[in-house]
Every structure is written in structure tokens, then in C-alpha cells.
Structure 1
Amino acid sequence: MAHPAQLGFQDAASPIMEELLHFHDHALMIIFLISTLVLYIIVVMASTTLTDLYTLDSQEVEIIWTVLPAITLTLIALPSLRILYLMDEINDPHLTIKAMGHQWYWSYEYTDYEDLGFDSYMIPTQELVPGQFRLLDTDHRMVVPTQSPVRLLISAEDVLHSWAVPSLGVKMDAVPGRLNQATFIVARNGVFYGQCSEICGANHSFMPIVVEAVPLEHFENWSSLMLEDA
């Protein structure tokens, strides 16, 4: 959960998000080094050593400013591709959930269970109780077990939506007539908040996402209670 005056990302709650944070720091350091080098060159440009005709026409300088960017791009591209492939891997998911975007709420269907599904609406401000977050809490949370691979099938019924939870490193567009999928593993217990990240209409800011991660035995108890109430 973000807090006032926070700088940087939310704490990672999944292995993918941890990888994304490491990659962010890696790329930021490369950008810092490039910026420092460019600033140094600008500062010393007034000297004749960098502006005389011999230096500007030097073959060595041509080689340096061709090879260095190539190396820099390689250092950024390799870890980036690795994370992209990790995000696409789906190895024997323990649970599959279908998330459907509507104007303006989400509905969830646990496809491994018969008749386990519900709509998730934002709790109006006047109905909030102490401890709940305005514009973020919902009447029904998407409950998942921790330390278990979860496959999320995402689509929309009307317009474009986007299912995004920053702490889990998941952001996937919900497109009408198309089924996208994402996978994640929640590493720790907790409640993680997200919002629709696609401008989907007048009430776009009123369709939050709440994921509650609990131990497996608690998830089984929750699913049994939900099936009894269905």
C-alpha cells in the first residue's frame, strides 16, 4: 500500500515484482552514468582538447561513441528480455481465475470451482468503516492462496479496461472479445490494492481491485463458505 509523500515503488509482494525493482535500479544506474558522462563533456567543451579539428575527426572517437551505446543497450536489453520471458511463463498453475471488466466494476470467476464467482464493487465513501480506504476498498475481494502459482484470465464485456496491481507486478489489458492471461505468485500474506489502468469511461476511477492473499488452508475455508452461500 502506498503512503503519503512516498518516493519509489510499493514493496514487492511477488517474485516478478522483485525482479522488476532490481531491473529498475539497474537501468537507473546506467542512466545516471550516461548523464554524468554527458554533463562532464558539456563542462569541458570549452577546452580546445575537445573542440579542435583533430579530435572531432578522430577515428578513435567515432569508434568509442558507436561501441559504448551498443554495449549500453545490451546491458539493458538482456535483463529486460529475461523478465519478459519470466512473466510469460505459466507452469502448472494451482488456481485459475477469470477477471471480467465491466462499466464500472470487476467480476471474478474461479474456474476450478463450480459456481464460485462474484462481482466486486467499490465501497461508497458513506459506507466505509474505519480502516478501509476511500476509492480503493471493495465489497468482495479476490482471495488467493500464498506461495501458489495463480493464472489470471482477463477480458472485458463492454470497453477496454486494465487489471493492474502494482505490488504484484501485474498489469494486463482487458479487451472485449479477447482473452489475455497473466500469472503471479503472492509471496506473503496481505491485502494488495490496484485500480483499472485504462481510461474506460466516466466512472473509470471507481473500479478498484483488491487482492487478499491468505494461507492455503484459509483459502480453502473461504472457498467452502462462498460455495455454501452460492
Structure 2
Amino acid sequence: MRRILLFSGLFLGLGAVLAAFGIGVIGGGSAALAAQPEPWQWTFQPAATPVMENVTQFNNFLLYVVTIITLFVFGLMGYTMWRFRASANPTPSKTSHNTLIEVVWTIIPIVILVVIAVPSFRLLSHVRAIPEAGITVKAVGYQWYWGYEYPDHGGFAFDSLMLEDGERGAQPRLLATDTALVVPVDTNVRLLVTAADVIHSWAMPSFGVKMDAVPGKINEVWFRVNKTGTYYGQCSELCGIRHAFMPIRVEVVSQKKFKAWLKEAQREYGAAFPHTIKLANIETK
């Protein structure tokens, strides 16, 4: 009995220490470049936004908690099988319950859930609170490609189509596109997401962003990329026969390069989409 209570107390103490550590690290993190998934990759892509840094740290914290719980349960099972084996206990115990142990194994899970919930709710609040945006972009899902609009810069729009193997050059297979969503580095980007036909999902793992694109509805999410580079994602909602061929490419560039790209894009795409684009029951010009 005392040994079981000792194990429980040790487990609770370790959980409290890890909780303090986990809650403290949620606000930290360093910049990292994440471009694409790698062969034999076991975990997340390196974080490219503050949100994804926090998601990664919270995931690592939960891994500690799960590991301790697993070791404790297996250790307790092993101890119980050895301590109460038939050869050492020819007359089995007839104990029906133990109030103290029942209270302990009720309180400990409650404490664990609270320890997990506090940083979880803090992270969810951080993700949902959209800060003042430096740029707004609209992503429209089609079967089976993405279209992008820049309402803050004249409303020009263009489509982003997957490149076949003979066209992609050095870009990764099934992730290469003919055009990319271009955004400036160190800038809050407000992303409006919708669809023109069926439900899609705009997902960028290294940004910590995954937002459903629903016909007739505009969802919004935000991200702030802290390092220039090329980032890849994919549609993450089954949307038909070519769902697997609906990649996303985001080019994060310096402010100077973004301004130059804007001028060129306004000339190239401004006249290419002069008509009103109808998205289910939503119209945007």
C-alpha cells in the first residue's frame, strides 16, 4: 500500500514539475526555416511562425506527460504481477476496495488534465486572436487547384496549378506549382479561406495553419513567417479524385522584393481577371 502511494506521489510531483516547465516555454521559440517534408521524417517540420513554435513546444510537453504516464502504468503493472504472484500469495486477498487509493487515482487524473488544459487554452487563444494585419490575402479552393486574390492591392487574382514531373524542375514532386502565394517576411498575414465547389482545406504544416475552405463561407486565419524561403503544403480535406494533386506553395520574401513582385503581379494579373469571381453565394471583385 505504501509503495503504491509512494509511486503515485512521485508521479504527481514529476507531472507538476513538467507542467511548470511546459507552461513556461509556450511563449518562447526561435526562428526556423521549413520548406518541405523530408524522407523518414518522424515529427513536425521545423517551425516557421510563432504559432507553430508554440504548437511544437506544447507537443513536446505532452510527450513528456504521456511518457511518464506510460512508464508509471507499466511499472505498476510489473510490480503488481511480481508482488502478488500466486507462488508468493497462495491465499489471495479479498479486499473489495480502498478509499484512499480511489481518491488518489481520481485526483491525479484531474490534476493532469488541468495541467494540460492551461497551456492548451492559452495556445488556442493565441491562434484565434487575429492581430492587426499588414496584408490580407484570399485563398479560394477549386477542384483541384488554389486561386489567390490580393484585395488590399487592387484585387488582382491568379490560379496556382500543380506542375507535372516534366515541368517541375528542381521543385519537389507533387508539391510543385506554376505560381505561388507571395507574402513579405515578418508581416502579419490575414488569410481568408473559402471554396467555389466542395470543401477543401488550406494547410501549411510549417506555419501551424490548417483552415477549411467551405463554399458560401469565409474562414479566416493568420500567420507571421519569420524567415524567407519557399514553403510547401497541400489540401487536407478529401475533395475528389485529384485531392492528392492540389499542392500549396508559399514564397516568403523581403519587403523590398515583395513590393517589386506586387508591381509586376498587378501588371500581369490585373487584366487577366477583370470579371467578377463568383464563389457559391459570395461575390468578390
Please report the TM-score for the alignment, with normalisation by the length of structure 2.
0.77
Is 2:110 aligned against 1:75?
Answer: no
User: 1:151 aligned to 176, 179, 190, which one?
Assistant: 190
In the alignment, the residues of structure 2 paired with residue 160 and residue 44 of structure 1 have an alpha-carbon distance, to the nearest angstrom, of: 51
Residue by residue, what CA displacement relative to the aligned partner does 1:86-120 show, whole Å, maximum 9, x if unpaired? 11111210110010000000000011011421100
Determine helix, strand or coil for the equivalent of 1:119.
strand
In the alignment, the residues of structure 2 paired with residue 207 and residue 119 of structure 1 have an alpha-carbon distance, to the nearest angstrom, of: 12
Moved more, 117-126 or 159-168: 117-126
Where does residue 84 of structure 1 map in the other structure? 124
Where does residue 57 of structure 2 map in the other structure? 22
Q: Match of 1:34, as an amino acid?
A: I
How far the C-alpha of 1:128 sits from its partner, in A, is 2.0
Where does residue 43 of structure 1 map in the other structure? 78
Determine helix, strand or coil for the equivalent of 1:152.
strand
Q: Match of 1:192, as an amino acid?
A: Y
Where does residue 219 of structure 1 map in the other structure? 258
Contact 2:139 2:192 in 1 (8 A): yes
Aligned length: 227
Q: Match of 2:109, as an amino acid?
A: P
State the 4+ residue runs in structure 1 displaced beyond 2 angstroms: 51-54
Q: Match of 1:10, as an amino acid?
A: Q
Contact 2:180 2:249 in 1 (8 A): yes
User: 1:194 aligned to 203, 226, 233, which one?
Assistant: 233
Q: Match of 2:168, as an amino acid?
A: L
In the alignment, the residues of structure 2 paired with residue 88 and residue 217 of structure 1 have an alpha-carbon distance, to the nearest angstrom, of: 30
Q: Match of 1:116, as an amino acid?
A: F
CA RMSD between the two structures: 1.4
In the alignment, the residues of structure 2 paired with residue 181 and residue 153 of structure 1 have an alpha-carbon distance, to the nearest angstrom, of: 5
Where does residue 166 of structure 1 map in the other structure? 205
Determine helix, strand or coil for the equivalent of 1:212.
strand
Contact 2:228 2:252 in 1 (8 A): yes
Q: Match of 1:9, as an amino acid?
A: F
How far the C-alpha of 1:48 sits from its partner, in A, is 3.8
Residue by residue, what CA displacement relative to the aligned partner does 1:109-164 show, whole Å, maximum 9, x if unpaired? 011011421100001122122x1111101111000001110000000000010000
Q: Match of 1:5, as an amino acid?
A: W
In the alignment, the residues of structure 2 paired with residue 89 and residue 110 of structure 1 have an alpha-carbon distance, to the nearest angstrom, of: 22
In the alignment, the residues of structure 2 paired with residue 74 and residue 213 of structure 1 have an alpha-carbon distance, to the nearest angstrom, of: 38
Q: Match of 1:224, as an amino acid?
A: K
Contact 2:168 2:177 in 1 (8 A): no
How far the C-alpha of 1:53 sits from its partner, in A, is 4.4
In the alignment, the residues of structure 2 paired with residue 211 and residue 105 of structure 1 have an alpha-carbon distance, to the nearest angstrom, of: 14
Q: Match of 2:166, as an amino acid?
A: Q
Is 2:164 aligned against 1:124?
Answer: yes
> Computing the radius of gyration over CA atoms, which structure comes out larger, 1 or 2?
2
Is 2:244 aligned against 1:209?
Answer: no
Q: Match of 1:40, as an amino acid?
A: G
Contact 2:163 2:177 in 1 (8 A): yes
How far the C-alpha of 1:29 sits from its partner, in A, is 0.6
Where does residue 133 of structure 1 map in the other structure? 172
How far the C-alpha of 1:52 sits from its partner, in A, is 3.8
Is 2:131 aligned against 1:96?
Answer: no
Q: Could you tell me which runs of 5 or more consecutive residues in structure 1 were left unpaired when the two chains were aligned.
A: none
In the alignment, the residues of structure 1 paired with residue 255 and residue 100 of structure 2 have an alpha-carbon distance, to the nearest angstrom, of: 62
Residue by residue, what CA displacement relative to the aligned partner does 1:176-227 show, whole Å, maximum 9, x if unpaired? 1111000010011111100000010011011100011111111111001111
In the alignment, the residues of structure 2 paired with residue 52 and residue 219 of structure 1 have an alpha-carbon distance, to the nearest angstrom, of: 75
Determine helix, strand or coil for the equivalent of 2:54.
helix
Determine helix, strand or coil for the equivalent of 1:29.
helix
Q: Could you tell me which runs of 5 or more consecutive residues in structure 2 were left unpaired when the two chains were aligned.
A: 1-35, 86-91, 271-285
| Aligned-pair identity (%) | 42
